Structures are given as structure tokens and as C-alpha cells.
Amino acid sequence: MAAIEKDFRRSVVYQIYVKSFCDSDGDGVGDLPGITGKLDYLARLGVDYLWLTPFYPSPQRDGGYDISDYRAVDPVYGTMDDFDELVAQAHKREIGIMLDMVLCHTSCDHEWFQRALAGDERYRAYYILRDGRGSSGPGDPGQPPTNWDCAFGGSAWKWEPRLGKWYLHLHDVSQPDLDWTNPEVREACADVVRFWKERGVDGFRFDVVNLISKPEVFEDDLSGQGRSLFADGPHVHEYLRELVARAGIDGMMTVGEMASTTLENCVRYTRPEDHELSMSFSFHHLKVDYAAGKKWELAEPDIGQLRSIFRTWQEGMQAGGGWNALFWDNHDQPRAVTRFGGRAGVGERGGSWERVGKMLAVCDFLMKGTPYVYQGDELGMVNPGYDSIEQFRDVESRNYYQIMLEMGKGPAEALHVVNERSRDNGRAPMQWSSAPAAGFTSGEPWIGIPASARLVNAEAEVGVEGSMFEFYRSLVKLRHASDVIATGEVRFLDAGEEAPKVIAYERTLGDERLVVACSFADAPCRLADLGVEKYEVVLGNYDDAPAPGALRPYEAVVWRS
């Protein structure tokens, strides 16, 4: 079956966290046949591409982002035949498949690292190995080469006696970073991409790909730059162009995950004339509730800051000819409905969680870029709210719980922070029905089922007028049908002093003008003149028409000239 090639400006991508989507064989873990069985559901939603998170063999220290074999399917997720069948069945429904390429690091169980440990010089050169500071000679570790922190807490360096060196791991200690200055590593990575392209996939998502080029000189981080010290490194654009050319994927649907990146770099990653990627994920808008920029310190979301970040990225990428991936949720983020909805709880149909979920969807879908729906967004899934640390599976959450205790927080407070910030918020099983285990598995789920599944689930929403699912479905249709949304200009609007928590923007193409206003406030507010008096309302998240010049709590309205 020929590859699916759709205009990415008109497309909608759906992200599947394979482990938590649908379990077909009762072992409590989602799998590839489980996804195949839900393709009709996804076709009904109308999405164009599925991005599958890693399903390759892995010791699962980092949810599968620690890969021990890039060219196989982990038996827990199925077989290569299951994979081929999924691709064929998706293609029959005109849905493309995008795979996750994790090429910044391997698992330490990967053959390359194992060979390095065994002393093979060729493979030692695949990794970033350094002597310790103050070491008196071979065998004496000394101190870590730099003071860099890894993403999940603690030093980014690990002393390995079998290597006689420290190795760099920007993520978990089981994820040694590959040395992209080594041309053989770059060719080996291109070969992995080629392998899957030849197997018939339609696109790729590149994991933390702006971290592949490390700084020329390894020095202590003295200015508190943290991750931005190794983001968008000196050769990153050159390496990406080379990867794309060698793997033969120029023009395919591609997206890069860019950690602590800049607008200037994202323009370069994504403008077509540079032949790097179709679009990029950036994360600045998801840090507006970090106190002093720190993920594990809570603050209320700063909507003024959110608006200014969106404005910078929307107008800036447009001016530079780049392209944004639009999203609120993924497998690394808490659920946006909880986060931006005043902790919107789930009480009843039509409750604030639904209102908030629809408002967020409007805000995202009508901006300039390609929207990504994360599994369960279309149902309005919220944070699970686990009641003990044992219920969490994620390495980062468990590490930081300990770090918070060591820093003097009490267990209840530390648990509260983990419940707000954990990546497991996005990794709880997909809620298919109100049956036990939410219809996700007939066995014991690998991670707990949220209590909200009783009300928030596909069975209760598919085909039900006014449900979140049907709302998303209409947004996908709108996205496909509307030129002004796909390709029009974007410009942010000032909603006025009395609307500090409103994000408003316009999209224009020729004579057509759409105006979008989304309130993140839990109280009504008055709007400045947005020039919409004579316009028709094309979309909203309340049953009745909006009042002129005002928005109700969490109201979203779209007007058309």
C-alpha cells in the first residue's frame, strides 16, 4: 500500500502512547493489535496521521524511550506482522503512521553499548566518554567531568568501571547519549530511519532531536542555563539536514521535539528551504505554571505569559516561514483540562471539565500550525489523582518525589506536587468505557485506572450530540475544510484590560476573517472591541449564543466575517 502523503497544513495528528491505548491480549499493557482494533474509532474522529510512541524492545526504564533494538517490535506490544497489519489497515482508512525515532541516546542494553562495555573501540566511539575531574589516573573516577544535571534529577554523568570513563546521559542513567560527532553514528541513525521508511511508514517524530549536537567544550554550567546549555548545539542543523537527506525523508511528514529551544532555531528546523523537518514542538507555553521556571514547584498558570508566548511563536514562526506543531498534552505532560481549568473536576455531563476541554481545543485548533490530539484529549480526560506514590510508574516522578522529601517537603505535599506534575498523568489508560479497567484491558492494567473513567469515556461520548468527542470531530472537519485556518495569516488581538485571561487572535485570508476568543477565567469578563459586531458565530462551547462584548467562564467563541 502506497504511503499516505497529505498536506500537513491541513492535517490533524493523533498521538498514541502504545502502552496505554488498548490491550488486546489481557496482559495489562496496550499493544499494536489493540490499536488496529480501534482504527474505526480513529477514522470516525477523522484524524490524518497516528504518531506511535516507541514500541521497540526496551527494558522500560523510561517508558520505552530507552531502546535496546531499533529494528524490532517488543513482544509485549506484538510482532512485526502485527505492525505490518496495523500499517496496512491504517492506510486502507487513509490514515498515515508516524514513528518515534529516539536517536539522541540508546538504552544501555543496546548492543552498541554492550559492545562498548566489552571494550570494542569502535563502539566506545559511539558514546560520549570522558575522564573524571581530579582523577589520579586510570581506575580512579575522580569527580564528574561537569556539573550538568540530567533531566530526571541528579548528575548527567555516570562512572562506569568497565569503560574506565564517565559516560554522558542527559536523561535516565540507563540512556547513554550517542556521540553524533562520529560519522558512523550519524550513518547508523540514518539507517534506522531508512529501515522504517522502507517498511512503509508515512512520517517520523524525532525525540529530543535538538540535543544531538553537544557543546564544543564541556564546561560547568555556571550561569544556570540548565538544558539550554546543550540545546540547539553547534552542528544540529547540519546533522539534521544530513539525516533527512541520507534517510531520504525530505518532504515526508516529520516533527522534531525541541527541548529548551528558541524561535530562531525552530524557524530554521522547519522552513522548507532548509530541508530539515516539517514542524517542531516547543514547550515554553507549558511552563507558565512553573514557579520560577522550576517544574517541581507549583504556581497558578500565568495566562498573560501564555498569551505572549503564543503570540511570539505564532507570529514569529509565520514571519520566518516556519511551522508549529500545536498541542497541549502528550505522554510527558499533565492533562491540560486539569491544569488550565482551575483543577476542573469531573462531576456531571456538561460540567466545567467539558467546557474547559472544548475551550482549549478551540484555542489550539484554530492557530496556525498542525494540531496534535493526544489520546483521551478528545474525551476530555483529566489527571487521575493517584493516592499514593506507589501508584506512579514514571522514573522522573519517583526520583523527584525522593528529591522533594530530601529537600524537606512532607510526604503529603510531595505527593500533591507529583499528582500535579507527573508524566503519568498523561499515561493513565485510555478510557474506552465505564466497564472495569475502563475497557482498556481484560487483565490487571500496568498503571491505575482514573476514577473519572465512569463518566469520561468513549462509550458515553461517541455519537452523543454535544459531547467532547463530537466537538473534536467537528473541529477536525473544520480544519480539513477551511483554507483560512490551514493557510491564513495569524495575528494576536488585544482583548482589553477587563479581559486579562482571554486569548484572542484573528486568522485572515483574502476577504475572509475569523476571530477567536478564549477565556481562561472562571468568572465572566468584558471584551474590548474585536470588530465582530456584524459577524456570525461559527463555533462556541456554550449551548446558547454569546452575549455581545462579553465572555462567560471558560467560554470560547469563533466569529466569521
Site of interaction with ligand GLC (CB under 6 A): 62-63, 65, 102, 171, 207-208, 257, 331-332
Question: Does 329 qualify as catalytic in the annotation?
Answer: no
**Closest C-alpha among 350, 372, 555 to residue 461:** 350
Instruction: Report the residue number, 156 or 530, with the smaller CB distance to ligand GLC.
Output: 156
Report, in angstroms and rounded to the nearest whole number, the Rg of the chain calculated over CA atoms.
Answer: 23
Q: Which residue is nearest to ligand GLC, using beta carbons?
A: 65
> First and final CA of the chain: distance in angstroms?
42
User: Residues, the chain, total?
Assistant: 561
Instruction: Report the residue number, 62 or 506, with the smaller CB distance to ligand GLC.
Output: 62
Residue at grid coordinates 503564543: 310
Cβ(445)–Cβ(472) below 8 Å: no
> Least Å distance between CB 281 and ligand GLC?
9
> Least Å distance between CB 287 and ligand GLC?
14
Torsion sign across C-alpha atoms 481, 484, 488, 494 = negative
> Least Å distance between CB 419 and ligand GLC?
19
Residues 335 and 329: their CA atoms lie apart, in Å, by 6
Instruction: Report the residue number, 24 or 254, with the smaller CB distance to ligand GLC.
Output: 254
Residues 413 and 418: their CA atoms lie apart, in Å, by 9
Instruction: Report the residue number, 334 or 488, with the smaller CB distance to ligand GLC.
Output: 334
> Least Å distance between CB 259 and ligand GLC?
7
Q: Count CB atoms within 10 A of the CB of residue 536.
A: 9
Instruction: Report the residue number, 33 or 426, with the smaller CB distance to ligand GLC.
Output: 426
Cβ(179)–Cβ(185) below 8 Å: yes
- The phi, psi pair for 216, rounded to 5°, reads -65, -40
> Least Å distance between CB 272 and ligand GLC?
25
Q: Count CB atoms within 10 A of the CB of residue 451.
A: 12
> Least Å distance between CB 53 and ligand GLC?
8
**Closest C-alpha among 39, 44, 22, 40 to residue 31:** 22
Out of 62, 207, 424, 506, pick the active-site residue.
207
| DSSP 3-state of 337 | helix
- The phi, psi pair for 420, rounded to 5°, reads -80, -35
Out of 62, 257, 289, 424, pick the active-site residue.
257
Question: Does 257 qualify as catalytic in the annotation?
Answer: yes
> Least Å distance between CB 378 and ligand GLC?
20
> Least Å distance between CB 151 and ligand GLC?
7
Strand 165-168 and strand 502-509: the pairing is unpaired
Residue 96 burial (10 A CB sphere; 0-12, 13-18, 19+): buried
Distance of CA 446 to the CA centre of its chain: 21
In angstroms, what CA-CA distances link 219 with 214, 215, 222, 435, 536?
11, 9, 9, 55, 58
Instruction: Report the residue number, 171 or 285, with the smaller CB distance to ligand GLC.
Output: 171
Instruction: Report the residue number, 171 or 339, with the smaller CB distance to ligand GLC.
Output: 171
Residues 202 and 97: their CA atoms lie apart, in Å, by 5
HEC profile for 482-544? Answer: CHHHHHCEEEEECCCCCCCCEEEEEEEECCEEEEEEEECCCCCEECCCCCCCCCEEEEECCCC
Instruction: Report the residue number, 396 or 461, with the smaller CB distance to ligand GLC.
Output: 396
> Least Å distance between CB 329 and ligand GLC?
12
Those residues whose C-beta lies under 8 Å from the C-beta of residue 176, and which sit 6 or more positions away, are 105, 106, 108, 113, 127, 128, 167, 168, 169
> Least Å distance between CB 65 and ligand GLC?
3
Residue 92 burial (10 A CB sphere; 0-12, 13-18, 19+): exposed
Instruction: Report the residue number, 260 or 270, with the smaller CB distance to ligand GLC.
Output: 260
> Least Å distance between CB 409 and ligand GLC?
24
Own/partner pairs, 83-90, CB within 8 angstroms, 24+ separation? 83/32, 83/55, 83/199, 84/199, 84/200, 85/32, 85/33, 85/36, 86/32, 86/33, 86/35, 86/36, 86/39, 87/1, 87/199, 87/200, 87/201, 88/1, 89/36, 89/39, 90/4, 90/36, 90/39, 90/50
Instruction: Report the residue number, 51 or 353, with the smaller CB distance to ligand GLC.
Output: 51
Instruction: Report the residue number, 279 or 557, with the smaller CB distance to ligand GLC.
Output: 279
Residues 25 and 398: their CA atoms lie apart, in Å, by 29
Catalytic sites, residue numbers: 207, 257
